[in-house]
């Protein structure tokens, strides 16, 4: 198993594992179902090719946990042993999000967690079903791609038909697994891994979409949770396309405003002497009129979604703010010229759709309703106008029906949960963390006042709080905040380079 080219988020221990089946895939929303027993299986470990100090293995799990005889798949697992085994606290599952991120890669990187955590925990990551070195989702090309931003009912019909055809192609090439990619099935896989490791309880550190996997595990197996840390959290109670997109776009605009506040104070900002908000407004107007082109590609138009996407990627880590300012300066210097070619949308992702649309529903009645969603979003965030990350799930799930759609949380009987989230997070927005905090009894929210995604990597204060919680169970004070950390270009700290199209 190698990290190169990975997608970027076990039967059953020494004794027989019995799992209470709450439903997965089409049966996932059912209130109860029979208990299913599965034969015992151990993990056969070997040294990972990328890091021989880490153990890699694969486990077999049912495709459909409610009907184990329908077939099985393989789940790839990696374990980095605690470096101080005599002081070991237990097993810490980690997941980097995505959806579609590799937990195996995250474990190989020890979750990018501190030395103290690595000393005291076995860090275990797995590639969720359909992802990476686990049994993968496979999709076929399905012909010309319509615009992801339909202007009328006819274009919406074309896009819906395309997305349905894409998911059908994935289902045909992947098989029945494609219908069982939701967090309910993944949570059962996690518990099978727990049992195979011989652990009575496990702790969990999830980032972004990985927080939803941890939340679902806590719902289904509350008695098996030791500690649960949610960094930059999803909120599975957020319903409807309008609220989802408005929340995402407001969050992106909040993140941009933090950049705009920093810019006049730093010699590294390329927009010195200019108001970054006014620069953005002018560029958005040109993008809307079709008189802006991509940097280095004068024949490729840069429309509103493309400009918002360029900005969004740079806001995941404040260390990218200087580069963003230079890009905005270059765009601002372009001579207005109409670019008649069609804008280039990202290629729809069948794996992303298969996972996201299992657990999230964004029904759009018709073209008028879709236009209304965009109007409401633009009113709520008039400068950035739209979050491409918020728009992608809505369009990816056109014509689909979620098996475990958004709903209030049902997490009870778990130890106190730590939630950490940035005010300027452009992906998993701070109001979602507030919502999750309100719904999980005994949870505690630590707010990082700065910008960027994944508070642990952005702030020594956040990192210290997460470490203290995982090591001792100690929670920060109620209503606690960590101060914003501005980018330090004299030190140029090394951080993980985000992918080209980072998501949750």
The whole-number average pLDDT for the span 274-280 is 98
Please provide the DSSP assignment of 273-327 as one string.
Answer: TS-HHHHHHHHHHHHHHT--EETTEEEEE--HHHHHHHHHHHTSSGGGHHHHHHH
Cis peptide preceding 99, ω within 30 of 0: yes
Residue 250: count of CB within 10 angstroms of its CB: 19
Nearest to 442 by CA among 465, 404, 411, 464: 411
Specify burial of residue 178 (Cβ count, 10 A radius: 0-12, 13-18, 19+).
buried
d(CA 102, CA 185): 17
This prediction's pTM: 0.91
Instruction: Kindly state the percentage of the chain with pLDDT values over 70.
Output: 90
Q: Which residue has the higher pLDDT, 100 or 341?
A: 100
Mean pLDDT, residues 185-211 taken together: 97
Q: For 206-262, how does the pLDDT look when each residue is reduced to its tens digit (9 = 90+)?
A: 999 999 999 999 999 999 999 999 999 999 999 999 999 999 999 999 999 999 999
Residue 196 is predicted with a pLDDT of 96
Instruction: Scan for tokens 């299986």, then name that residue.
Output: 41
According to the model, what pLDDT value does residue 40 have?
A: 54
Angular region, 331: left φ>0, alpha ψ -120 to 50, beta rest:
alpha
Tens digit of pLDDT for each residue in 355-391? 999 999 999 999 999 999 999 999 999 999 999 999 9
Q: Where are the extended beta strands (E) located within 106-164?
A: 121-126
pLDDT, one tens digit per residue, over 453-482 is 999 999 999 999 999 999 999 999 999 999
- How many Cβ atoms sit within 10 Å of the Cβ of residue 270? 18
Is residue 137 over pLDDT 50? yes
Q: Shortest CA distance to 48 belongs to which of 84, 4, 93?
A: 4
Residue 39 has pLDDT above 70, yes or no: no
Structure confidence at residue 61 (pLDDT): 97
What pLDDT digit, counting tens, does each position of 51-102 carry? 999 999 999 999 999 999 999 999 999 999 999 999 999 999 999 999 999 9
Strand partners, 59: 75
| Averaged pLDDT for residues 163-174 | 97
320 token code pair? 């990218």
What is the arithmetic mean of pLDDT over 314-319?
A: 96
**Which pLDDT does position 436 carry in this prediction?**
98
């Amino acid at each position: 198993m190698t990290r190169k080219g990975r997608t970027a988020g076990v039967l059953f221990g020494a004794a027989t594992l019995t799992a209470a089946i709450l439903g997965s895939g089409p049966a996932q929303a059912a209130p109860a179902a029979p208990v299913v027993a599965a034969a015992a299986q151990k993990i056969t470990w070997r040294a990972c090719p990328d890091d021989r100090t880490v153990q890699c293995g694969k486990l077999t799990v049912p495709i459909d946990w409610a009907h184990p005889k329908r077939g099985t798949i393989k789940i790839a697992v990696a374990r980095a042993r605690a470096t101080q085994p005599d002081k070991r606290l237990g097993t810490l599952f980690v997941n980097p999000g995505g959806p579609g991120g590799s937990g195996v890669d995250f474990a190989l990187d020890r979750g990018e967690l501190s030395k103290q955590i690595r000393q005291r925990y076995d860090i275990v990551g797995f590639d969720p079903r359909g992802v990476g070195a686990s049994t993968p989702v496979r999709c076929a090309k399905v012909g010309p791609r319509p615009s992801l931003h339909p202007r009328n009912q006819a274009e919406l019909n074309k896009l819906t038909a395309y997305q349905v055809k894409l998911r059908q192609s994935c289902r045909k090439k992947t098989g029945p697994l494609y219908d069982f990619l939701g967090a309910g099935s993944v949570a059962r896989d996690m518990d099978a891994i727990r049992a195979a490791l011989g652990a009575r309880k496990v702790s969990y550190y999830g980032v972004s979409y990985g927080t939803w996997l941890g939340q679902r595990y806590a719902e289904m197996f509350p008695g098996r949770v030791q500690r649960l840390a949610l960094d930059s959290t999803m909120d599975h109670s957020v319903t409807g396309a309008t609220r989802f997109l408005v929340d995402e776009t407001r969050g992106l605009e909040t993140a941009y405003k933090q950049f705009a506040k920093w810019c006049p104070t730093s010699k590294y900002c390329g927009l010195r002497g200019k108001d970054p908000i006014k620069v953005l407004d002018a560029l958005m107007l040109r993008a809307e009129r079709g008189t802006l082109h991509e940097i280095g590609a004068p024949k490729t138009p840069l429309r509103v979604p493309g400009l918002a996407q360029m900005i969004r990627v740079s806001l995941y880590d404040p260390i990218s703010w200087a580069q963003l300012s230079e890009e905005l300066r270059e765009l601002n210097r372009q001579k207005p010229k109409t670019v008649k070619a069609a804008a280039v949308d990202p290629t729809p992702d069948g794996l992303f759709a298969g996972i996201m649309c299992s657990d999230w529903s964004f029904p759009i009645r018709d073209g008028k309703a879709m236009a209304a969603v965009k109007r409401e979003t633009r009113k709520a965030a008039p400068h950035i106008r739209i979050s491409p990350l918020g728009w992608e799930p809505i369009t990816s799930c056109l014509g689909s029906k979620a098996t475990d759609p958004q709903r209030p949380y049902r997490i009870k009987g778990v130890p106190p949960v730590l939630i950490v989230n940035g005010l300027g997070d452009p992906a998993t927005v701070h109001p979602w963390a507030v919502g999750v905090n309100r719904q999980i009894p005994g949870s505690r929210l630590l707010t990082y006042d700065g910008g960027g995604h994944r508070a642990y990597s952005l702030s020594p204060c956040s990192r210290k709080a997460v470490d203290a919680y995982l090591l001792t169970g100690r929670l920060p004070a109620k209503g606690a905040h960590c101060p914003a950390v501005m980018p330090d270009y004299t030190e140029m700290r090394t951080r993980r380079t985000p992918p080209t199209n980072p998501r949750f």
